[in-house]
Structure 1
Amino acid sequence: MRVTYWTAFWVFLIDQATKWIVVHGMDLMTRMVIDVVPPLLTFRMAWNRGVNFGLFAGFDARWLLVGIAVAVSAFVLVWIGREGGSRMTYLSAGLLVGGAMGNVVDRVLYGAVADFINMSCCGINNPFAFNVADMGVFAGALGLVIFTGRGSGAGNGKRRNSA
């Protein structure tokens, strides 16, 4: 579990640091757009009040989304603590929890998640922005799907045999 906690800590810290540097330090809130390596990488201010890609942003679901993120994170920690798994399982859980907590802090402090990373390429103009926490949640959830479950070989022997 140490890998999970340390991974969550570092994802959370990197997420909050990058948000502070870009949104406040580089004044993205006022400037709204900063071309870094256009069009590949642009910082574009987006306050996400909804879920992924701004879905359901029209509803005031701030505290509901905070509660869901905290509940899912607690569930993942309890589940991984009981079931165990490979190093990649613990790492994936930490990515998910650290990212979820990074976005929880934004919702509590600002009422919305600060998204700012926008990437486009090859003539395709991507209208969406994301942040480090979003990458952690996505990679962590994907990793948990890949590295857990029956037949994955990820268990460390803590599972009970039901046969």
Structure 2
Amino acid sequence: MATKKRSNFSAGSATSGSSLIPWLCLATIIILFDQVSKITITKLFAYAESLSVTSFFNLTLVYNKGAAFSFLAAESGWQRYFFTAIGLIAAAYITYLLKRHATQKLFCAALAMIMGGALGNVIDRLLYGHVIDFLDFHYQEIYHFPAFNIADSAICIGAALFILDELRRVKK
């Protein structure tokens, strides 16, 4: 239903693949930053090694075999293929949506960020069998938010932009 409503607001839906290029470039940039950061952290840190950067932020190399917040991380290994498949299916569907709504900037920026983040984590699962996380925020060493990475950040920012786009569209 949302797709039908969205197409009503699309002033000239994308007719050529060229309007897809900026969104695929944004996703690619996210993937590149994500992968370069992960390669760098794995070269500089041993597993579980931590460097205090501020009173609330550490760089800490950890691996996540599950999904967000280590969901299903303790399973036997099937989750690697499950989350890889979900990421690839999501990327294919997002590409379809980007092509269909390429002129809607906020919507497409949100989707491109989500796709770039999802594919960044898919690459980890395919290459290493786990996702590399290293951004560790905490409060007085008492509460640690689960470690995450640039791909996870892109997914969260993309989701927030998606919600903002929906709220703006509903107001119209």
TM range (shorter): 0.7 to 0.9
**Cα distance in 2, alignment partners of residues 53 and 30 from structure 1:** 18
RMSD of aligned Cα (Å): 2.0
Deviation, structure 1 residue 54: 0.2
Extract structure 1 runs of 4+ deviating beyond 4 A. none
| Alignment TM-score, normalising by the size of structure 2 | 0.78
Among residues 26, 32, 49, which one is paired with 1:7 in the alignment? 26
The answer as to whether partners of 1:11 and 1:95 remain within 8 angstroms in 2 is yes
The range that moved more, 104-113 or 89-98, is: 89-98
The answer as to whether partners of 1:99 and 1:135 remain within 8 angstroms in 2 is yes
**Alignment correspondent of 1:126:** 144
Matched residue SS, 2:66? coil
**Cα distance in 1, alignment partners of residues 138 and 116 from structure 2:** 26
**Cα distance in 2, alignment partners of residues 96 and 103 from structure 1:** 11
Would you say 1:42 and 2:58 are equivalent positions?
yes
Would you say 1:71 and 2:89 are equivalent positions?
yes
**Cα distance in 2, alignment partners of residues 29 and 14 from structure 1:** 21
**Alignment correspondent of 2:68:** 52
**Cα distance in 2, alignment partners of residues 129 and 30 from structure 1:** 13
Which consecutive unaligned segments of at least 5 residues does structure 2 have? 1-19
**Alignment correspondent of 1:158:** none
**Alignment correspondent of 1:83:** 101
Describe the shift of the 1:31–1:67 C-alpha distance in structure 2 as closer, same or farther (beyond 3 A).
closer
Describe the shift of the 1:80–1:15 C-alpha distance in structure 2 as closer, same or farther (beyond 3 A).
same
**Cα distance in 2, alignment partners of residues 93 and 65 from structure 1:** 18
The answer as to whether partners of 1:3 and 1:90 remain within 8 angstroms in 2 is no
**Cα distance in 2, alignment partners of residues 96 and 22 from structure 1:** 22
Higher helix content, 1 or 2: 2
**Alignment correspondent of 2:49:** 32
Deviation, structure 1 residue 127: 4.5
Describe the shift of the 1:123–1:62 C-alpha distance in structure 2 as closer, same or farther (beyond 3 A).
closer
The answer as to whether partners of 1:3 and 1:91 remain within 8 angstroms in 2 is no
Identity value in percent: 25
